[in-house]
Amino acid sequence: MRQVSRRALVAAAVGSTLLTGCTTSVAGSANPPATDVSAEEFPIVGAADNDVDRLARNAFADLNTFWAEAFPEYYGEDFLPLQGPTSSVDVDDIDYSLYPSDTGLGCDEYPIDPAEVEMNAFYHRGCDIVAYDRAFILTQMEQFGAYINPAIMAHEFGHLVQGPIDEPAGRAGFSDVTIYNETQADCFAGAFTRWVADGNAEHTTVRVADLDPVLTGFIELRDPVGLTDVNVQGAHGSGFDRASAFYEGYDAGIAACRDNYAEGARVFTVDEFGSDEQGQIDEENEGNAPIEDVPAIIDGTLPVYFDSWVDGFEAPTLSFDGSTPDCGVMGEEERALGWCEDDNTIYVAEDLLEGAYNEIGDFAVATAYALPFAQAVRAHLGRSADDTTATVCLAGAYTASFFNGDFEESENGATLSPGDVDEAITFLLTYGQTESVLPNVSATGFELVGAFRAGFLQGPGADVCDVQA
């Protein structure tokens, strides 16, 4: 956050051709697949006898089934499978004899050295092939769990669905805008994941309860914060852009992925710090205001936003001293965050304030205050203050107002910095299941991010926010 003016973010980008560097990570404790696909049934060039290639092979078999069924329904044509090979490479110890000597991973028009896939996975439009670095996939699996493997393949398969350069029948076609291609592939991966979670896949499984790390993976693989303009070729999006696209596919299905990714149809939160003096300050501080300035920014925006549309609301006092008084449930349950109805004050514990700021960023602190503030608003409106998804939705609506520049002309004029929206959803994924922060939550972190997304994109009128009479 910062107390200076910032240009509005415009959803535009330039085109891209070779989509290297594109990966989507989805994590979780996936159950063992019901049946494994044999190497003879689905050959992968260079594959070894290990879990990386086994899970990838299973995922590709299920992806072919998924799209063979879905593509005719949503695009009106039969699906054309991958025309070139799928290749697995151990970049740490490349055995060049496993790959054609003249083309490597690629084709006659575009020869590709196997070393070019290092720490990556990609679909190549010119050759209509998919390749991945086994060491990279293994690293992701160790960090995020087994399901990251099929999720990466589902993202790359999303590019396959978009189509190769010559766009044969049975493919949807690429956009000229890189970031739309990448987030649409994230959306396709989300739609596939829902199909898997619903138990439709023969070889791949994932539990709904394990989807929280899916979004953590998207945030980890975002564009560098503050260093990527939405117009640059190769842009993939912010953590929120990618997580939002994945959630959209999971929640709304292929129709949403097909219809909502035309140029100009989306607003992206990825942005650069800027080349002026303020931009240099932001880059040095990673977009974070000094911690001593954060209270004034929150106090000058949070009450202003809700007062703008909630009639007769007495805004709670915001306490920034790190105390958690013996007030109602806050004292009884040893809460680290909450609204004390008795004195109409919002308290956040010192440990939570410091942890949110130091581990995530300044807007994580703003999100911490927005949640109990939204509880107070809901109580004023006669709604349940215990509906966590509804309060999270209102926190998303507040963030959108901030993002849209509604506070620039206020007394404590402030705007978001690149990465702030990512910090909001990271706070939910980090602390959303913590009893002292959001007690008795039945929703997963994945679902909380979905509620935040609804408020951010639709405002307080979103059904999830539940504040309309």
- For residue 170, the model assigns a pLDDT of 85
Of 259, 293, 321, the residue at which a domain comes to its end is: 259
Same domain flag for 239 and 290 = no
> Using 50, 70 and 90 to split pLDDT, how confident is the model at 10?
very low
Per-residue pLDDT of 251-295, as tens digits, reads 999 999 999 998 888 999 999 998 777 778 878 888 899 999 999
Alpha-carbon radius of gyration of the chain:
23
> What average pLDDT is seen over the chain?
89
Q: How many residues does the chain have?
A: 469
Least confident window among 263-267, 359-363, 373-377, 409-413: 409-413
Of 225, 259, 293, the residue at which a domain comes to its end is: 259
CA angle 208, 395, 266 (to 5 degrees): 75
Per-residue pLDDT of 310-329, as tens digits, reads 999 999 999 999 988 878 66
**Token code pair at residue 434:** 């913590």
Average pLDDT value for residue range 295-320: 95
- For residue 169, the model assigns a pLDDT of 79
Same domain flag for 117 and 236 = yes
Q: In terms of Cα–Cα distance, which of 232, 244, 238 is closest to 13? A: 232
Q: Which residues contact 99 (CB under 8 A, 6 or more apart)?
A: 45, 46, 87, 105, 114
Q: Which residues contact 443 (CB under 8 A, 6 or more apart)?
A: 388, 389, 432, 451
Q: How is residue 121 annotated by DSSP?
A: E
Same domain flag for 225 and 294 = no
- For residue 343, the model assigns a pLDDT of 92
Please state, in angstroms and rounded to a whole number, the distance separating the CA atoms of residues 356 and 320: 13
Same domain flag for 90 and 239 = yes
> Using 50, 70 and 90 to split pLDDT, how confident is the model at 469?
low
Average pLDDT value for residue range 366-386: 96
> Using 50, 70 and 90 to split pLDDT, how confident is the model at 413?
low
In a domain, 321, yes or no: yes
B/e letters for 339-362, b = 16+ CB within 10 Å, e = fewer, are: bbbeeebbbbbeebbebbbeebbb
- For residue 26, the model assigns a pLDDT of 34
pLDDT of 398 strictly over 70 = yes
Same domain flag for 230 and 356 = no
**Token code pair at residue 44:** 């992968």
- For residue 400, the model assigns a pLDDT of 97
β-sheet with 345-348: strand ranges across = 317-318, 345-348, 337-340
Same domain flag for 176 and 293 = no
Please state, in angstroms and rounded to a whole number, the distance separating the CA atoms of residues 377 and 372: 9
Same domain flag for 304 and 241 = no
Q: In terms of Cα–Cα distance, which of 437, 341, 351 is closest to 395? A: 437
Q: In terms of Cα–Cα distance, which of 418, 417, 428 is closest to 453? A: 428
In a domain, 22, yes or no: no
- For residue 21, the model assigns a pLDDT of 42
**Token code pair at residue 202:** 């023969």
Q: Which residue would you say has higher pLDDT here, 197 or 5?
A: 197
**Residue 230's domain spans which residues?**
51-259
Per-residue pLDDT of 61-111, as tens digits, reads 999 999 999 999 999 999 999 999 999 999 999 999 999 999 999 999 999
- For residue 277, the model assigns a pLDDT of 78
In a domain, 274, yes or no: no
> Using 50, 70 and 90 to split pLDDT, how confident is the model at 309?
very high
- Main-chain phi, psi angles of 282, to 5 degrees: -60, -45
In a domain, 30, yes or no: no
**Token code pair at residue 55:** 């899970």
In a domain, 264, yes or no: no
Same domain flag for 119 and 203 = yes
In a domain, 31, yes or no: no
Q: Look at the chain and report how many structural domains it folds into.
A: 2
- For residue 329, the model assigns a pLDDT of 65
**Token code pair at residue 300:** 């000058």
Same domain flag for 78 and 174 = yes
Element (H, E) at 130: strand 129-133
Same domain flag for 221 and 141 = yes
In a domain, 2, yes or no: no
Contact assessment for residue 217 and residue 209, using Cβ atoms and an 8 Å cutoff: no
Per-residue pLDDT of 194-239, as tens digits, reads 999 999 999 999 988 888 887 888 789 898 999 998 989 899 999 9
pLDDT of 18 strictly over 50 = no
pLDDT of 250 strictly over 90 = yes
Per DSSP, what are the bridge partners of residue 123?
A: 19, 130
Please list the helix, strand and coil fractions of the chain in percent, rounded to the nearest 5, in that order: 45, 5, 45
Same domain flag for 364 and 460 = yes
pLDDT of 57 strictly over 50 = yes
Percentage of residues of the chain with pLDDT beyond 90 = 72
Same domain flag for 436 and 351 = yes
In a domain, 330, yes or no: yes
Count of CB atoms situated within 10 Å of the CB of 258: 17
CA angle 288, 236, 396 (to 5 degrees): 50
Count of CB atoms situated within 10 Å of the CB of 403: 20
